[in-house]
Structure 1
Amino acid sequence: MTVSPLWHYDGVTAVRRNVLVRADGTGFHLEEPDSGWAGVPVQWADLTVIGAEKGRSAYGHRTLAGWRMGFSGEPPAEIAAHLPRAKRYGRWIDRFGFWPAAGAFTLVAGLVVWGAAEAPGVIAPLIPQSWENRMGDAMVGDFGGRVCHTPAGDAALRALVRRVDPRGEAREVALANIPLVNAVTLPGGRIILFDGLVQQAGSADEVAGVLGHELGHVRHRDTMAGLVRQLGLSVVLGGFGGNGGSYLNGVLSLSYGRDAESAADAVAIDQMRDAAISPAGTAAFFARMGGKGEAARAEQAMTWLSSHPLSTARRKRFEQAIRPGAAYRPALDRAQWTALRSACASDPLVAKAWGRDF
């Protein structure tokens, strides 16, 4: 088969030749009839695409430096079938096509995002409890000098914990002299109530609801899952060596996710039901903190920790958990509630501690 004409540089001289192609199955050679010049045999498989646009194309050789041939028009049909195709996107995208490749990429990206979101929840339960406990113990050190203790206040807090957590799932519940409307669950089953929360609460029932919610995070090990998601497994594991206190800010800024928050609310409602504590107090707490309006105020910026968005839906859930005619009892009696609220102010060792670092 002879095809003409096309241009060619042999890579040895700078002469541009107008040549013919003489094909013979798996390869071809070029020749210039006017001068009698003939090129070396070339295999079709050795051709590479230099450039290909509509009406023009150029090809090189895999091993012959400077070797070039090209068509000023479309290659004839009898030779076009042997020429390599230009790679528009690159490798496997050209092989399978743009849209199939785009679909595959979207699927893989979705799996990666899903894995990043779900993997921490799978990994966290596999972390030895002893390691998590050591990390939480180290973090408690960052609250040094702020944990409030009075005989009556400690007794009231223990009474509240016995009501909400009768099985002792939380390793420790403490009250810290920090004037923020907050509570935090540390690794290892430690719950810290902030005095600002106790002072803003209208009753011990409201604090019981918050404590029950934090107990849900303890039960589901949400703090560890959040730390793995936020900091990475290797960083979290590095904290078990005794430096876990440096990760306290990470815990304070954790966002557990809607499902985890909903599951923690469910634990709070169950624990309060079993303890005969009315969920009406927690609903009232949500109403004050998050706004009671059904539209514009349904999602306000005020939060009990940035990780606990207060919403109308959450308030309604606690309201719907109220059982008409149930024999509810206050979470604490009047004297106990007074002792808990005055614990930080009555402890001279922590009365001004929060102002040093927070």
Structure 2
Amino acid sequence: MSARSEVAAGATDAAGPWHYDGRNACRWHPRVLLAADSFRLVGDDWESGPYAWSDLIALDGTGGRSVYGLKGEGGWRLGFDGPPPPDFAAHLPLHGRYGRWIDRIGLPRAVAGFAVIAAAVIYVGLEAPGWVAPLVPRAWENRLGDAMVGDFGGRFCRSPEGVQALDALIAKMDPNADARAIEIANVPIVNAIALPGGRIILFDGLIQKAASADEVAGVLGQELGHVRHRDTLVGLMRQLGLSVVLGGFSGDVGGYVNGLLSLSYGRSAEARADAASIVAMQAANISPADTASFFGRMAKSEEPGGRRTARAMTWLSSHPLSQSRRAIFARSVKRGQNYVPALTDAQWQALRQMCKRDPTVKSGWSWEDGL
């Protein structure tokens, strides 16, 4: 193409260029004088321009039309009722197919950008509870935990010997009193939960499933780790949103408790809890070997085809096990260490019999109770 050429169109050329100058409603059919970096519009008795090619804006490519606006000129239009001539099109901006800015950067880049933004939104959604939870006042968290405790409805077990045994275990595993309260609930489910506000509940089903007090100590140590890191509040906020702390006190607290029974803390939180449990057991001179054995038995006991409700609320549902986690506790056992039992035989039996020896404790439990 020469440095300057011409695209001409008359009023009878339906596909030829047509033009509105934005100042009146007249539709013009000018000739277009082309140059390398600009163009001019020439009518029978008028001429306008030059206009830079870079100032053209693709407005409408639907219906086979090619319509362009001009930067800074709201009503200015230059269009074709069909595709423009090749030498003209070589200078014009591409017609929009997906949207102005997408066409400007290209579809592949736009898709990649959307993917990055979506990943960032998901990441923030998952991580935000961990950032927000430390900012929640302890008093609010304590109130939420207290409300959940009240929903257990008289199921906490009490007997003189059992309370003494539990206190002895707590003194060894939580000497700094990180937990506000640790209770045993008369609930026949193999589980333990850390409520918001530093409250820990061991279910009697877990006590009966354990073969020794050392196994209970290992589980208690893990729940204490979740308390120290406020993992429960983080998990609830991730699962149920900010309503947990902003509106949870008058809402479905029982629903929150049921959510806790199936709440998964995530690998990093479980790893921290494992480490906290091992440190506490070593400080109390309690062997982690029995806890490793407990994990092994629990994993084997999870047989497919069981009752969905019951299995969904076992300790394994919220504390997923793996060979590596069991191995961590097994490897932490120090050879030659003169470990001592977490409780004496008499204390262990008192702990196991505490719910049976409490004549006032409420018995019976089901999913429909909602705790």
TM bracket (short chain): 0.7 to 0.9
Alpha-carbon contact 2:56-2:93 (below 8 Å) kept: no
Match for 1:345: what amino acid?
K
Q: RMSD of the TM alignment (CA)? A: 3.4
The residue aligned with 1:245 is: 253
Instruction: Give the percent of matched residue pairs that are identical in Structure 1 and Structure 2.
Output: 48
Relative distance call for 1:64 and 1:131 in structure 2 (3 A) is closer
Is 1:75 the counterpart of 2:99 in the alignment?
Answer: no
Is 1:198 the counterpart of 2:207 in the alignment?
Answer: yes
Deviation at 1:281, TM superposition (A): 1.0
Relative distance call for 1:239 and 1:42 in structure 2 (3 A) is same
3-state secondary structure, aligned to 2:149: helix
Report matched runs for 1:218-229 at 5 Å.
Answer: 218-229=227-238
Tell me whether 85-94 or 280-289 shows the greater mean CA deviation. Answer: 85-94
The residue aligned with 1:329 is: 340
The residue aligned with 1:352 is: 363
Gap regions ≥5 residues in structure 2: 10-14, 302-310
Match for 1:338: what amino acid?
Q
Relative distance call for 1:229 and 1:262 in structure 2 (3 A) is same
Alpha-carbon contact 2:32-2:39 (below 8 Å) kept: no
The residue aligned with 2:138 is: 129
Match of 2:218 among 209, 215, 224: 209
Cα distance in 2 between the residues matched to 1:48 and 1:95: 10
Relative distance call for 1:244 and 1:151 in structure 2 (3 A) is farther
Match of 1:184 among 187, 193, 209: 193
TM-score (norm 2): 0.79
Deviation at 1:327, TM superposition (A): 1.2
Match of 2:66 among 58, 66, 89: 58
Structure 1 residues 92-129: Cα deviation after superposition (integer angstroms, max 9, x where no partner) = 22222333333333332232222222222222112111
3-state secondary structure, aligned to 1:322: coil
Cα distance in 2 between the residues matched to 1:47 and 1:310: 60
What is the number of equivalent residue pairs in this alignment?
Answer: 340
3-state secondary structure, aligned to 1:344: coil
The residue aligned with 1:283 is: 292
Relative distance call for 1:161 and 1:278 in structure 2 (3 A) is same
Report matched runs for 1:152-163 at 5 Å.
Answer: 152-163=161-172
Deviation at 1:80, TM superposition (A): 4.4
Cα distance in 2 between the residues matched to 1:163 and 1:147: 21
Relative distance call for 1:216 and 1:7 in structure 2 (3 A) is same
The residue aligned with 1:99 is: 108
The residue aligned with 1:88 is: 97
Cα distance in 1 between the residues matched to 2:50 and 2:261: 67
Match of 1:312 among 323, 328, 353: 323
Alpha-carbon contact 2:66-2:84 (below 8 Å) kept: no
Deviation at 1:306, TM superposition (A): 1.5
Relative distance call for 1:94 and 1:342 in structure 2 (3 A) is same
Cα distance in 2 between the residues matched to 1:213 and 1:47: 63
TM-score (norm 1): 0.82
The residue aligned with 1:296 is: none
Alpha-carbon contact 2:61-2:96 (below 8 Å) kept: no
Is 1:4 the counterpart of 2:8 in the alignment?
Answer: yes
Relative distance call for 1:139 and 1:73 in structure 2 (3 A) is closer
